[in-house]
Amino acid sequence: MIDRRRLRRKLGFWRVLAALVAGLAVLAVTYASGWRPGGKATALREEIARVEVTGVITEDRDRLELLEELKTDPRVRAVIIRVNSPGGTTVGGETLFEAIRQLAAVKPVAAEIGTLAASAGYMVAIATDRVVAHRSSIVGSIGVIFQYVDASVLLGRIGVEVNAVKSSPLKAEPSPFAPAAPGAREMIGRLVNDSYDWFVGLVADRRALPEAEARRLADGSIFTGSQGLDNKLVDALGGEAEIRRWLETERGVPAGLKIEEREPEKDGWGLFGSARSALFGLLGLDPSAGDLVEALGGSGGHLDGMVSLWQPPRH
């Protein structure tokens, strides 16, 4: 009989807990749908979403998934992409550019340039339909770079010799262990020039510039926001207030919507995420980085392959 009473008490506890959880879930869904105490329910709480693109740009699956979610989120009437980046990998800039163009096909999207939108950072900004910069922002650095190290002299001084058996002379060239093989620089030059022509084409198309003018601006130069406006690299000077004016007057977004920060959901949260951050901090890397590539990029590390980056790391 005592055991039965204990069992009934335990069952009662779990039933009450389940009822509380269900009640909280209903309240959460109701709140998200727009209902407030003392007010009438609305179908949606509409908002303008703001997405930050900061630091070195790499292929970021989490950010791409966020942009895909914003495209179908009925609460989001428009999106502001806030850019503060020196650039990054060419593929990272390309994938982000394409994702923003897909989003812009569904909803109004504008870019606010903070301190810096250079190289792949500028590529991201021009994916939007309205580019706004501050007067003293830095924009431009349109171009592509491929860096490699020749450490053969240093290795020779310390008595290290690296040998390789290759299927062809250009396999794995250029190598950091020996001077570049004949034809390697020409091969890399073709690679860089192809991506550069593609980048110039994006600028000419998105900024409605003649190709010759886009190419003139794409000599690696950087510009202030004011100079960028004169050169048609940006549409207006200002910040979120200017973007809001454009959204409301030219894109039909309701006035007064709240701007909500939207962030990607990062993997590795919890205890593992804390341990990872602590390890990055001990190694002198960025403890807020989502992964090792981002941590190395944020601390001046090397990015393999082609990059579209202003002031790349020097080795």
CB-based contact 223:139 (threshold 8 Å): yes
How far apart (Å, rounded) are the C-alpha atoms in residues 166 and 268?
Answer: 39
- Judge if the upstream peptide bond of residue 210 is cis by omega within 30 degrees of 0: no
Q: What is the DSSP letter of 268?
A: S
CB-based contact 217:140 (threshold 8 Å): yes
How far apart (Å, rounded) are the C-alpha atoms in residues 236 and 313?
Answer: 31
- 261 DSSP β-pair partners: 50
How far apart (Å, rounded) are the C-alpha atoms in residues 213 and 207?
Answer: 11
How far apart (Å, rounded) are the C-alpha atoms in residues 124 and 94?
Answer: 8
Active site residue 258: no
The label of the residue with tokens 């693109």 reads 53
**Catalytic option among 85, 107, 119, 308:** 119
How far apart (Å, rounded) are the C-alpha atoms in residues 112 and 245?
Answer: 13
**Catalytic option among 10, 136, 166, 171:** 171
Task: Work out the burial of residue 79: count CB atoms within 10 Å of its CB; fewer than 13 is exposed, 13-18 middle, 19 or more buried.
Answer: buried
How far apart (Å, rounded) are the C-alpha atoms in residues 144 and 193?
Answer: 8
- 145 DSSP β-pair partners: 307
Q: Are strands 131-133 and 236-237 parallel, antiparallel or unpaired?
A: parallel
Amino acid letter, residue 173: E
The pairs formed by 292-295 with CB atoms below 8 angstroms and a separation of 24 or more are 293/58, 294/55, 294/56, 294/58
Active site residue 171: yes
Q: What positions carry a catalytic annotation? A: 119, 171
